[in-house]
Structure 1
Amino acid sequence: MSVTPKQVQEYWNWHQSMGRDSCLEKAPQSLGLQVWRVVKMKLVPVPKGEFGTFFTGDAYLVLHRGDEERSHVHIWHGEKASTDEKGASALFATQLDDSLGGRPVQHREVQGNESELFMSYFPHGIKYQEGGVDSGFHKVAAGHTSVRRLYHVQGRKIVRARQVGLNWESFNTGDCFILDLGETIYQWCGTSSNLYERQKSAQFAGSIRDLERKGRAQVVIVRDGEEPPEMIEVLGAKPLLKEGTPQDDAQADQTHSKTAELSKVSDATGSMLLTPISSKSPFARALLQSDDCFVLDNGVCGKVYVWKGRGANVKERRAALKVAEDVIARRNYAPNTQIEIIPEGLETAFFKQFFSGWN
Structure 2
Amino acid sequence: MVSPSRSFTSGNDESQVGFSHTRSTREQDVLLISLLGTVAMVIFVNFETCPTTDSFFKYAPIPGCSRPVRPREVGSFYNGDSYLVLENRGEQGADIYMWIGEKSSRDEQVVCAMLATQLDNFLGGDPVQHREVQGYESPDFMVLFPRGVSYKDGGVESGFRRSQGSGTVHRLYQIKGKRNIRAKEVEMSWNSFNKGDCFILDLGQTIVSWIGSQANIFEKQKVREIASLIRDTDRHGKAKIVDANEGEEPEEMLKVLGQMPALAESTSEEDSKADASNSASLYKVSDATGSMAITKVSGKSPFSRELLVHDDCFILDNGANGKIFVWKGNRANPEERREALQMADNFIEQMKYPRMKTQVEILPQGRETIIFKQFFGNWN
Q: TM-score, structure 1 length as denominator?
A: 0.75
Q: Determine the structure 2 residue equivalent to 1:277.
A: 297
| Residues 283-326 of structure 1 deviation map (CA, whole Å, 9 limit, x = unaligned) | 11011111111110101011000000111111111111111112
Equivalent residues of 1:177, 1:201 under 8 A apart: no
Alignment of 1:268 with 2:293, yes or no, is: no
Alignment of 1:329 with 2:356, yes or no, is: no
Alignment of 1:188 with 2:210, yes or no, is: yes
Equivalenced residue count is: 325
**Structure 2: runs of 5+ lacking an equivalent:** 1-7, 20-28, 47-61, 160-168
Q: Determine the structure 2 residue equivalent to 1:35.
A: 41
Equivalent residues of 1:155, 1:197 under 8 A apart: no
Equivalent residues of 1:203, 1:349 under 8 A apart: no
1:286 aligns with one of 303, 306, 313: 306
Alignment of 1:353 with 2:374, yes or no, is: yes
**Equivalent residues in 2 for 1:190-205, closer than 5 Å:** 190-191=212-213, 194=217, 196-203=221-228
> RMSD between aligned alpha carbons?
4.2
Equivalent residues of 1:23, 1:44 under 8 A apart: no
| Residues 4-35 of structure 1 deviation map (CA, whole Å, 9 limit, x = unaligned) | xxxxxxxx87599753155548644x241111
Q: Which has the higher strand share?
A: 1
The change in CA–CA distance for 1:205 and 1:332 in structure 2 (over 3 A counts) is same
Equivalent residues of 1:266, 1:274 under 8 A apart: yes
Equivalent residues of 1:207, 1:348 under 8 A apart: no
**Equivalent residues in 2 for 1:49-128, closer than 5 Å:** 49=71, 50-68=73-91, 70-128=93-151
The one-letter amino acid of 1:32's match is T
CA apart distance, 1:329: 2.0
**Equivalent residues in 2 for 1:308-323, closer than 5 Å:** 308-323=328-343
- Work out the percentage of aligned pairs sharing the same amino acid: 42
CA apart distance, 1:118: 1.1
The change in CA–CA distance for 1:230 and 1:65 in structure 2 (over 3 A counts) is closer
Residues in 2 aligned to 1:24 and 1:219: alpha-carbon distance in whole angstroms: 44
| Residues 254-274 of structure 1 deviation map (CA, whole Å, 9 limit, x = unaligned) | 758x81111111123443221
| Residues 206-225 of structure 1 deviation map (CA, whole Å, 9 limit, x = unaligned) | 699979xxx9xx99754212
Equivalent residues of 2:195, 2:263 under 8 A apart: no
**Structure 1: runs of 5+ lacking an equivalent:** 1-11, 137-146
Secondary structure of 2:84's partner? Answer: strand
Q: Determine the structure 1 residue equivalent to 2:26.
A: none
The change in CA–CA distance for 1:163 and 1:345 in structure 2 (over 3 A counts) is closer
The one-letter amino acid of 1:266's match is S
CA apart distance, 1:108: 0.2
Q: TM-score, structure 2 length as denominator?
A: 0.71
The change in CA–CA distance for 1:238 and 1:134 in structure 2 (over 3 A counts) is closer
The one-letter amino acid of 1:132's match is G
CA apart distance, 1:203: 4.5
Residues in 1 aligned to 2:126 and 2:171: alpha-carbon distance in whole angstroms: 27
CA apart distance, 1:171: 3.0
| Residues 124-158 of structure 1 deviation map (CA, whole Å, 9 limit, x = unaligned) | 1122122113699xxxxxxxxxx999643146786
CA apart distance, 1:112: 1.1
1:300 aligns with one of 320, 323, 341: 320
1:224 aligns with one of 246, 261, 275: 246
Residues in 2 aligned to 1:55 and 1:84: alpha-carbon distance in whole angstroms: 16
| Residues 173-210 of structure 1 deviation map (CA, whole Å, 9 limit, x = unaligned) | 5x41246899x986421356545223134257769997
The change in CA–CA distance for 1:24 and 1:283 in structure 2 (over 3 A counts) is farther
Equivalent residues of 2:180, 2:279 under 8 A apart: no
CA apart distance, 1:119: 1.2
Q: Determine the structure 1 residue equivalent to 2:69.
A: 47
The change in CA–CA distance for 1:225 and 1:209 in structure 2 (over 3 A counts) is farther
Equivalent residues of 2:82, 2:112 under 8 A apart: yes
The one-letter amino acid of 1:89's match is C
Question: Which 10-residue stretch deviates more, 123-132 or 45-54?
Answer: 45-54
CA apart distance, 1:38: 0.5
Q: Determine the structure 1 residue equivalent to 2:17.
A: 19
